[in-house]
Each structure stands twice: as structure tokens, then as C-alpha cells.
Structure 1
Amino acid sequence: MTISVLLVDDEELVRTGLSAILGNSPGITVVGEASDGSEVVTKVLELRPDVVIMDVRMPRVDGIAATRELMARVPRPPRVLVITTFERDDYVYEALREGASGFLLKRSRPAEIVQAVRTVATGDSVLFPSAIRGLVSGRRRRDAGGGPARVRFTEREAEVLRLMGRGMSNAEIAAELFLGVQTVKTHVSSTLAKLGARDRTQAVVFAYEAGFIELR
């Protein structure tokens, strides 16, 4: 299956570079580009990409607002991979909370960019636990509404959530807990449903915010 990608960045040079990297990767095709977040919903409805690579800092509509609008207005929205210059960027944190599946630094190596696109396209997330801890650190932890402190998890769901917070894939969690991958997927799905999280990235952010996963 070919993975279709929409590039959203206000810098033409960045879009050109990403297009060259992804366009030369087997099984990936760039179906369109946008220079501002205000164009995202229209482009997505027109082109139906599997993945949107979204700059978080744009002059008119930033990546946070564009991600929020995309999740609210588009049925079965594409996966969003935000891209930024700075690892500890509050914009990244907000984009993850709005439903982005992960983030990349603009200085990432081409192979890392390609792998990240492949990862999110399969329904997984690009998680950097140390970076998420840094983004969450110092913020007020959530004590109301759908956070982990208010959710009743089974013992196994709690274990799976903590391992997700370490950036482990379903296969790695299965090996750690001596479970089948499909069983892990079931626990992940039930955990996301209880949290009201769109994907595992949101679930991990919520878990760190609530102190369910300790900041170290």
C-alpha cells in the first residue's frame, strides 16, 4: 500500500526538502503541499492523505489550530506528524494534546523522517518519552475530567499504559509482559477509550500530566 502525504510548512525550502526525501522513498508519495494551516482542512478533504506533516509555527494559522480543526471537521482524519525546530517547544506539546501522533525535529536525518511517516501511517505513534517528560514538566497536573487519576484501569491496562509511556511498541510490550501482540492491542484500545484519547501519544501525555506516569 502506498502512503500518501500532505506537507504543510510556510517555508518553501523545507517543503522542497521533505518532498525530495519522501518522494524518493518506496511506498510513499507526496500528494500535495500547503504553506499555512488555514489550507489544511480543504487540502485534506480534496486529497485524502494518510499522513499530514505539519509545521507548528506558521504566521496565520499555526499547526495547533490546524490540527484541532482537522480532528473536529474531518471524519476519520489522517495522522498528523508535527515538525519543529526546537525539541522542547510548547507548540509541540499543544499539538500532541490536540491529536498529533508524534513530532520530528527539522534536523532529523532523512531515514528518521521516512521511518516516522511509516510508523504513524500504520496507526502507531512516534513517541520520545524524554521529550514528553520535558514538555509536561512544570505544568499543572490534571486533577479533573478524563485524566488517569479519574479512570479505573485494570492492573494489566495500567501496566500497558506505563510501558507505552516508555515509548515501547505493541510488540515490545507483548515481549515484556509475555502476552500476544493482539492481546496488547486490545489493552491499548480499552485504555485509549477510557481516557478519551485519540491515540497512544495523547494517552501518554494525559498520563504524565496526571502523575500516573512519574516524571524522572
Structure 2
Amino acid sequence: MTKLSVNINKIATLRNSRGGDVPNLIQVAKDIQRFGGEGITIHPRPDERHIRYQDAYDLKPIVTTEYNIEGNPIPKFVDLVLKVKPTQVTLVPDAEDAITSNAGWDTKKHKGFLQEVISEFKRNDIRTSIFVDPIVDVIEGAKETGADRIELYTEEFASEYAKGNEKAINSYVECAQKSIDLGLGVNAGHDLSLDNIKFFKENIPGLLEVSIGHALISESIYLGLENVVNMYLHRLK
């Protein structure tokens, strides 16, 4: 089965816009899990414009499912992950001023750096995943870094699928199968939504987990958070 991990960055963005504690991030994380969500994802950035570093610590005792922390492994981020010890860390090559993630790792070019960071996380019993574009050579490079999983960057698929181009799934299928052949677990995320998640799930072999934030929270404005979480769970299972 494919797990649904809900990215709660947008809840933090809404909270921060007024400078208070509404909506309460901790309560939302509790509620998502109560509604059936199988994981909580956060992606703190250096400017803390949504998730704050303190949020990562505050969520630790609250997340009873799977705790996934995403981010660029700069020293401050690495230190945070080693202290919090989430279930999984997903490494994303974000520029510090990036609005959102917009590319995967060049696993060949950054092989040495990724090996060093991943080995430190694995020494601390933290599962590691690398955010990658759907390119076979990149998947092969990910294996060489020592990562446990890859997370397929799905923006291109989502964009093309919305135009009616179902063939956009092909490179993702190929890379997922390559990952399985190499012994890597397969995660996916970015712009997955209620409109495309069922098709994606049905076509990607061995899909272990999807991380969904922006679309899920946006859809919840109209349909309600509990309802939307269960709609995703239904499509994934």
C-alpha cells in the first residue's frame, strides 16, 4: 500500500501571516493523523517563512505515524535532523530563496557530498530519501550515495497530465522500476492532487509513499480537511 504523508507547510504559512498561533500547527498534525493520514511532512527553510525550526522539535512527540523532514542539507538543517531524529529525512537541493522545490539532485555531480551527509543520518538510524528528477542515470547515481529511497519530483507529470498527456507517466514508471531493481524504495511528491493521484498510483510500481501539501490544503478549503484526507486515502488504496 502507498502511505499518505501530509505536508503541513501551508498551515504554518497561514499561521505566520497573522503572527499568532491560529491555525495551531500541532493540533492540525494531530487531526490529520486522527483522520487517517499516515505521516506528517515538514520542509523548513532557512528564512522560516512557513515551518519554523522550533516546529520540528514541537512536532516530534506529536507525530505517532511517520515523521518526514525535507530540506537542503545545509549545516543548520543537518543539525536539526540529527537532534529531532525523524523517521525519514528527504534531501532536496533547494536554493535558499526558492519559492518551492523546482529540481532534483544531480546525483553524479554531488555524489561525494550526498554520501557524506547520508552516512551521518544512517549512523543515527534515520531513513534517507533523495529528491530526484525521473532520469535513469540519476536513479543509478542515487543508489551509489547510499540512500534508502528516492522521491520522484512529479511537477512535470502533474503539468502534462492536466493537459491530457498521460504518456508523461512513462519516465516515472521506468525510473520507479529501475529503483526497485536497484533495491531503492520509491516515494513521490510535488503537485500531486485529487485529480491525478489515482492515475499516478495505479501506474507506478512499488510506490511506498506520497507527500502532498499545497494541493491537499487548497482542496480542503472547499471540501474540508478530514474529507480530503480520506479522499486521498481512497484513491491510494
TM-score by length of 2: 0.32
The structure, 1 or 2, with the larger RCO (C-alpha pairs under 8 Å, 6+ apart) is 2
